[in-house]
Amino acid sequence: MIGRRAARRRLLPIAILVILALLPLGLEQYKLYVASLTLVYLIMAIGLNLTLGYAGQISLAHGAFMAFGAYAVAILGQRGVPFEIGLLVGAALAFAAGLVVGFPALQVKHHFLAMVTLGFNIMVFLILRNWESLTGGSFGISGIARPAWGALIFRSDRAYYLYMLGWAALVVVSAHWILGSRWGRAFRAIRENEMRAEALGVSLRNYKVMAFAIGAAYAGIGGALFAPLLGYIDAGAFTLDRSIQFLMMVVMGGLGRFEGPFIGAILVTVLPEVLRASEGLYLVFYAVAVILMMLFMPKGLVGAWDWITRRPAPGGATPPAVSLPPDPARPT
């Protein structure tokens, strides 16, 4: 019985991957674009979930980290560098930026970290918009080429979707691996109780900064895949709003849960399409949904699902969200 369940657990991801791979055959161009965008968001959300959901370090700079990947691919692509190298360079740059931004995380608490990262995102946006010789300024960069392997060029939307799906699968598998390793356990230990983690021999300094940098590197990969999707990027695509959108995605999906980013990414891309009929009211509905969700299910949709099915959370108790140390006298 248990063996069958384990087999099912192993088969499920493969089944989902097959369905996702067959998806483009049935979708018209615009819907395929939305599906491709969902893959980008999924990668972004997985990165942020690692930083915020597992290691408990808030980041409002994921839009900026994403820009590193997107601009690396765009700028290197103009000079004839293959896409994959651009992607790796972008991820490495984002990783380095994550190290730099994560460094203050050693000294400051959540709310200050929110501000540091927020400032960083605005800074990156200003640089992107104004460094015209490199980034094209507010005109952006157009004609970004899609990847090609010799004669095999992922030029059509369907082919590029499948290409992105491959990277997304790689990201999912690697994130799963990281979270299962001692790194993932250290991240969770820091989130639960910094002092205890340190007493148990977890090096806070290294792991906190790494949680930031790895999350940022994923964002870089997401950005690199995003750039050729429309073939055009400009600074406006990587604003603070975008970072806030990622944050909402992760929180609405369910912080610190592996399923969270999947649900969040689908929600954030599909919801606007569903609400499109309401025109401008979409944002009002969206805001109400966010507030209601925080009021009634702060653990996100995954948390709500757990509550409905009354299934204990896998891997032991998962606390609701990043929280301040318990404070008996919190006003209510």
Partner 1 sequence: MTDFLQLLAAGISIGAIYAMCAIGFVLLWQTSNTINFAQGEFVVVPAFAMVLFWTTLRLPFAVALILTVVVSALLLGFGVRKLLISRLLQAGVLPLVIATIGLSLLIRYSIQQFWTPLALPFPPLFSRVPMRLGGVILAWEELMNVAFAAAIIGALQLFIARTKLGWAMQAVAQNRNLATVLGIDVGRLVTITFVLNATLTALAAILIAPVYLVKYDIGIGLGLKAFYAAIIGGFNQMRGALLGGLLVGVVETLSAAYISGPFRDAAVLVILIGVLLLKPEGIWGVKEEWAS
Which residue in 186, 251, 266, 301 binds partner 1 (CB under 8 A)? 251
**Of 32-40, 228-236, 259-267, 285-293, which part binds partner 1 (CB under 8 A)?**
285-293
Q: Which is nearer to partner 1, 82 or 104 (CB)?
A: 104
Determine the Cα–Cα distance for residues 42 and 286; give it in Å rounded to an integer: 19
Q: 164 or 190, CB closer to partner 1?
A: 190
- Nearest to partner 1 of 20, 114 (CB atom): 114
Written as six digits, the tokens of 72 are 């690396």
How far apart are alpha carbons 70 and 58 in whole angstroms? 22
By C-beta, is 162 or 244 nearer to partner 1? Answer: 244
List Cβ neighbours of 263 (8 Å cut-off, separation of 6 or more).
252, 253, 254, 300, 301, 302
Question: Strand, helix or coil at 200?
Answer: coil
- The whole-angstrom separation of Cα 151 and Cα 53 is 41
Site string for partner 1, 215-244 (x = CB under 8 A): -----------------------------x
Do 261 and 301 meet the contact criterion of CB atoms below 8 Å apart? no
Q: Which one of 171, 227, 247, 267 is in contact with partner 1 (CB under 8 A)?
A: 247
Binding mask 106-145 vs partner 1 (x if CB under 8 A, - otherwise)?
A: -xxxxxx-xxx-xxx-xx--x--xx---------------
324 makes contact with partner 1 (CB under 8 A): yes
Q: Which of 99, 286, 304, 313: binder of partner 1 (CB under 8 A)? A: 286
Q: Which of residues 290-319 bind partner 1 (CB under 8 A)?
A: 290-291, 294-295, 298
**Burial profile 84-105: b = 16 or more Cβ within 10 angstroms, e = fewer:** eebbbbbbebbbebbeebbebb
Query: What is the C-alpha separation between 289 and 327, in angstroms, rounded?
Result: 29
Angle of helix 62-78 versus helix 240-253 axis, rounded to 10:
120
Specify the residue, 118 or 225, whose C-beta has the smaller distance to partner 1. 118
Specify the residue, 231 or 320, whose C-beta has the smaller distance to partner 1: 320
Q: Considering the complex, what minimum distance in angstroms separates the CB of residue 112 from partner 1?
A: 6
User: How far out from the chain centre does Cα 66 lie?
Assistant: 9
Task: Report if residue 177 touches partner 1, rule: CB under 8 A.
Answer: no
Site for partner 1 in 81-110 (CB under 8 A): 104, 107-110
Q: If we measure between CA atoms, which residue out of 111, 109, 20, 100 comes closest to residue 68? A: 100
Q: Which two tokens stand for residue 103?
A: 């460094």
330 binds partner 1 (CB under 8 A): yes
Of the candidates 49, 43, 35, which has an alpha carbon nearest to the alpha carbon of residue 253? 49
- Phi, psi angles (nearest 5°) of residue 8: -65, -40
Out of 255, 265, 266, 267, the only residue in the binding site for partner 1 (CB under 8 A) is 255
List 14, 148, 288, 315, residue binding partner 1 (CB under 8 A): 288
The residue (of 73 and 118) whose beta carbon lies closer to partner 1 is 118
C-alpha R_g of the chain: 20
Task: In whole angstroms, give the CA distance from residue 90 to residue 70.
Answer: 7
Residues forming the site for partner 1 (CB under 8 A): 58, 104, 107-112, 114-116, 118-120, 122-123, 126, 129-130, 244, 247-248, 251, 255, 280-281, 283-284, 286-288, 290-291, 294-295, 298, 320-324, 327-332
